[in-house]
Amino acid sequence: SQTIHQWPATLVQPVGSPLSLECTVEGTSNPNLYWYRQAAGRGLQLLFYSVGIGQISSEVPQNLSASRPQDRQFILSSKKLLLSDSGFYLCACRLGQGLGEQYFGPGTRLTVT
Amino acid sequence: QQQVKQSPQSLIVQKGGISIINCAYENTAFDYFPWYQQFPGKGPALLIAIRPDVSEKKEGRFTISFNKSAKQFSLHIMDSQPGDSATYFCAASKGTSYGKLTFGQGTILTVHP
């Protein structure tokens, strides 16, 4: 079965600083990968998804970007953080190209000060 | 049309009781309906999921009821236990959307001993 790793687990960054969150997946190949943000412990919002290396689709225009340099690596970045970027960031993967289940990683808690 | 509306926002149940959480959707193209359980500070965990070709699916104490004509589905937790206290999310996706999930806003369930 697949395992999703995210790091760091928590992060406190000042406004205007850069951001890099990493997600890696074990136990599967060619997964669909997703970045979600959860504000205030409720409501998950899809930010980006990727169906393959170098293929990124953005769902919400914002201050963030994503990259997929390897099959099982997904990175969320920002050049300059805003206060509104604070939240709980979750990476998820889905196996195969059909209606497979989607599994979430442990998340990264980001606080922008 | 992409929204999934979840109710109630919070629910308090006595140990041994039945917890019922409801979701409604508008987009008739949705064809996969999972439920997730999330504990504080953790990523959501897939609990149970249903497709519209069946009206009910049961796994242990958890049952999904699905009403295609009403565009509603619900989660029933039988014999609710204090360990079930968590936030529950319904979600929906359509087969042509690369597995992108649209989430409800969540229900905070508290089971009193």
The Cα of B86 is separated from the nearest Cα of chain A by a number of Å equal to: 11
The 10s digit of each residue's pLDDT in A31-67 is 999 999 998 757 899 999 999 999 999 988 688 999 9
> Taking CB atoms and an 8 Å limit, are B34 and A105 in contact across chains?
no
What average pLDDT does the segment B81-89 reach? 97
Note the pLDDT of residue A41. Answer: 59
CA proximity to A73, closest of A57, A91, A100, A58: A91
CA proximity to A98, closest of A31, A14, A22, A47: A31
Using the structure block, give the residue that is written with the tokens 């409501």. A43
> Taking CB atoms and an 8 Å limit, are A59 and B100 in contact across chains?
yes
Residue of A nearest to B51 (CA): A99
pLDDT band, very low/low/confident/very high, at B83 (cuts 50, 70, 90): very high
> Taking CB atoms and an 8 Å limit, are A102 and B34 in contact across chains?
yes
Average pLDDT, chain B: 94
Note the pLDDT of residue A96. Answer: 63
Q: CA angle, corner A76, sides to A74 and A80, nearest 5?
A: 160
CA proximity to B84, closest of B110, B47, B55: B110
Query: What three-state secondary structure class fits B82?
Result: helix
Q: Is the N-terminal amide bond of A8 cis, ω within 30° of 0?
A: yes
Chain A residues with CB-CB distance to B99 below 8 A: 32, 34, 49, 94, 99-100, 102
Which of B40, B43, B100 shows the shortest C-beta gap to A90?
B43
For chain A, the first-to-last Cα distance in angstroms comes to 38
How many Cβ pairs closer than 8 A exist between chain A and B? 60
Note the pLDDT of residue A26. Answer: 93
Please report, for residues A30, B37, B48, B93, the alpha-carbon distance to residue A10 in angstroms, rounded to integers and kept in the order given. Answer: 28, 21, 29, 30
B100 — contact with chain A (CB < 8 Å)?
yes
pLDDT band, very low/low/confident/very high, at A99 (cuts 50, 70, 90): low
d(CA B98, CA A99): 8
> Taking CB atoms and an 8 Å limit, are A32 and B99 in contact across chains?
yes
